[in-house]
Amino acid sequence: MHLALFIIFGALCVAGALNLLFQRHPINSALSLIVVMSSLAVLYLLLGAEFLAAAQVIVYSGAIMVLFTFVIMLLNAGEEQRTHGSKMAYFAGVPGAAILVSLLTFIFLSNRGNFAQARIGDYIASTGDLSRVLFRDLLLPFEVTSVLILIAILGAVALARKEH
Amino acid sequence: MIPIAWYLALSGILFSIGVAAFLIKRNIITVFMSIELMLNAVNLSFVAFSRNWSQITGHLQVSGQIFVFFVMVVAAAEAAVGLAIIIAVFRARNTLNVDQVDLMKL
Amino acid sequence: METGFVPFVIISIVKIIVVVVILLMAVAYTVLLERKVVGRIQNRWGPSRVGPFGLLQPLVDGAKLFLKEDLMPLAVYRPLYIIAPMIALGCALMSIAVVPFGANITYHGVDLFQITDVNIGLLVILGITSIGVYGIALSGWSSNNKYSLLGSLRASAQVISYELALGLSLVGVVMRAGTFSLRDIVNVQATHGLISWNFFGGFQFVAFFIYLMAAYAETNRAPFDLPEAESELTAGYHTEYSSMKFAMFFMAEYANMITVGCVATLLFFGGWSSPFGHLFDGVLTGIAAKAVLPVFWFVLKVFFFLFLYIWVRGTLPRFRYDQLMGFGWKFLVPVAIGNIVVTSLWMGIFLPVQ
């Protein structure tokens, strides 16, 4: 059953990513990306990262992609047009990605003896385990991240402001 | 029992599709979404490696997951600022096609 | 005992069917309750013709909505137009899966009064709320109507603003319970009856009021219902919807109300625990007392929250949009953060080191 879940949600991830690539309207790409992120949340659950799965849904699918959807709706983005750059991009992009995918897959699958087997239910990282590391050993990076978010908020407000 | 190498291969596939979308697509917002896809693929590989390390050492290792937490935060901040820049570019050039905003001169 | 796979699947399916059917009936009768209570507040009867006290009104309403013509304007973006109400209704119905509505009774190792108990139950509810924004945002955009788009953008901005205050107000409860699991949060409050509830003994009354106000804004109800008010923006994001799709939005709103009521009772008012605690334990024994009585207390508390929702709707005037956003960001979020700070200080100083 573990295998069935992995195959279903792995296939959903890949299908969503391919849909992002092949759709012409950006709103369809955005929805495919939401599907990818939610399927990744399930894969995190299979790997025992339950807090990360919840954070993935809340932060990525539920906030960042809402931001993308708002921008697409507000700017009234239409379907993509074929311009002079897209032909060159096809010749560079498709072989490049094909080489990359075959290289990565070959390396990972040929070394699969060096990696362990994951079984569902082992090594579940509870929120307490994550918090213990985050608030004791990594307290300074955590606080710096909060400053980073503050700077990002200020930057976004300043950049998107209407000029008078 | 799923070999962790399969998770890593899936992460590699998602990353390459992200690279392909980044190079092929002509809409700024879709290019930005492919960056998010690449970040998600990397997150998956971090979590898979964290699980691998836990199984090797025998007790729970969460460093990979902590890193994913930070990547999520940074991706959120970057998405906010990037989308604000896209809105500013749209106001100036009135187009969302990357081929038409590739010169500094209007 | 070790849970067998087949009993687990069968009992889970039965639980899901029972809970969903009860939830849908509850949604239908909440509509009737609202119409009658708002009517009484306004000094008139509410529906009273169909059946005794108007009790068959939801059935007749359901039949009417089914039989109405299902219009689909030509220029809508069809895939999203059809999917958006499904997202709204689906997310509204999913949160009930982690809510424990009875005591901790198991049968063959399977928990009988909760569909599933996950370690991150509270985060699951927050996540489902976050996904529910898409139902609103996509419906307005796909309707190809300027007023719908503006209404849906306003409504989704309102929802995501108050999500933050909602999440922050729950942190105090999580600190007291030490876990996100809803079953354990209720078990912490089930020890001494009234005084061990989070509202009273846990000192989370500020968090409760923040949660209540944020939840009213999240469900687009009561004083925060600007996006769907009759005199505003031509009915907002569901202007172009008719018959079954509109009914889905309608049901989603009331199902969200019920979910908010359930979560409020679980987190702040002790869930299924009786306010008398263990005082009257010897009076009623047997399976009826142990199984049915906690469900009775839970339903009573959720009913009280629904009544409160409808009471506030009939009483208070509506917020203007800028007042609404200012209230969410400039008042609720700082007060929620203040609540977290005070709760953690109190726990750090007064509770023994664990």
- Please report, rounded to a whole number, the percentage of residues in chain B having pLDDT higher than 70: 99
Distance from CA of B11 to the nearest CA of A (A): 9
Please give the distance of CA C219 from its chain centroid, rounded to a whole number: 8
Mean pLDDT of the A36-46 span: 95
Residue C230, pLDDT score: 63
Mean pLDDT of the C274-280 span: 78
Q: Does the pLDDT at position B14 exceed 70?
A: yes
Residue A115, pLDDT score: 84
C-alpha C332/C-alpha C338 separation (Å) is 10
CB-CB under 8 Å, A155 with B81: yes
C-alpha A97/C-alpha B13 separation (Å) is 9
Tokens of A106: 């070959």
Cβ under 8 Å to A: B residues 17-46: 17-27, 29-30, 32-34, 36-37, 40, 43-44
Is the minimum CB–CB distance between A143 and chain B shorter than 8 Å? no
- Please report, rounded to a whole number, the percentage of residues in chain B having pLDDT higher than 90: 71
pLDDT tens digits, one per residue of C190-201: 888 788 888 888
Q: Does the pLDDT at position A12 exceed 70?
A: yes
Q: Does the pLDDT at position C1 exceed 50?
A: no
Select the residue of B10, B19, B73 nearest A100 (Cβ to Cβ).
B19
Distance from CA of A22 to the nearest CA of B (A): 9
Residue C48, pLDDT score: 85
Supply the mean pLDDT for chain B: 92
Q: Does the pLDDT at position A25 exceed 60?
A: yes
Domain locations along chain B:
4-100
Interface ipTM: 0.93
C-alpha C316/C-alpha C223 separation (Å) is 6
Mean pLDDT of the C228-232 span: 66
Segments in B1-106 forming alpha helices (H): 4-24, 28-57, 63-93
Confidence of residue A164 (pLDDT cuts 50, 70, 90): low
- Residue from A25, A68, A70 to probe the interface with C (highest C Cβ count within 10 Å): A70
- In Å, the largest CA–CA distance within chain B is 60
Residues of B in Cβ contact (< 8 Å) with A117: 1-4, 55
Distance from CA of C142 to the nearest CA of A (A): 10
CATH number of B4-100: 1.10.287.3510
Residues forming a β-bridge with B27: B97
Q: Does the pLDDT at position A83 exceed 80?
A: no
- Residue from C5, C145, C180 to probe the interface with A (highest A Cβ count within 10 Å): C180
- Please report, rounded to a whole number, the percentage of residues in chain C having pLDDT higher than 70: 96
Cβ under 8 Å to B: A residues 101-130: 101, 104-105, 108-109, 111-112, 115-119, 122-123, 125, 129-130
Q: Which residue has the tokens 């306003």?
A: C154
C-alpha C254/C-alpha A64 separation (Å) is 27
Q: Does the pLDDT at position C292 exceed 90?
A: no
Mean pLDDT of the C63-68 span: 86
Neighbours of A14 (CB within 10 A): 16
Cβ under 8 Å to A: C residues 80-99: 80
pLDDT tens digits, one per residue of B18-60: 999 998 888 999 999 999 999 999 999 999 999 999 999 988 9
Which of A24-28, B78-82, C239-243, C277-281 bottoms out in mean pLDDT, i.e. has the lowest? Answer: C277-281
pLDDT tens digits, one per residue of C242-276: 778 888 998 999 999 999 999 999 999 988 888 88
Which of A1-5, A77-81, C26-30 bottoms out in mean pLDDT, i.e. has the lowest? Answer: A77-81
Do the chains B and A touch each other, judged by at least 3 C-beta pairs below 8 angstroms?
yes
Which of A73-87, A90-104, B7-21 bottoms out in mean pLDDT, i.e. has the lowest? Answer: A73-87
Mean pLDDT of the A108-117 span: 84
- Taking a C-beta distance cutoff of 8 angstroms, is the pair C119, C132 a contact? no
- Taking a C-beta distance cutoff of 8 angstroms, is the pair B21, A20 a contact? yes
Give how far Cα A123 sits from Cα of A112, A118, B2, B55, C308, Å: 20, 9, 14, 8, 44
Q: How many CB pairs below 8 A link A and B? A: 262
Higher per-residue confidence, C235 vs C199: C199
Higher per-residue confidence, C56 vs C231: C56
Cβ under 8 Å to B: A residues 34-73: 36-37, 40, 43-44, 46-49, 51-52, 55-56, 59-60, 63-64, 67-68, 71-72
- Residue from B33, B59, B94 to probe the interface with A (highest A Cβ count within 10 Å): B33
CB-CB under 8 Å, A155 with B84: yes
Do the chains B and C touch each other, judged by at least 3 C-beta pairs below 8 angstroms?
no
CB-CB under 8 Å, A159 with B65: no
Domain locations along chain C:
5-52+71-275+286-350
Q: C325 burial class (0-12, 13-18, 19+ CB within 10 angstroms)?
A: middle
Q: Does the pLDDT at position A89 exceed 60?
A: yes
- Select from C195, C196, C214, C217 the least CA-distant residue to C206: C214
Q: Does the pLDDT at position B86 exceed 60?
A: yes
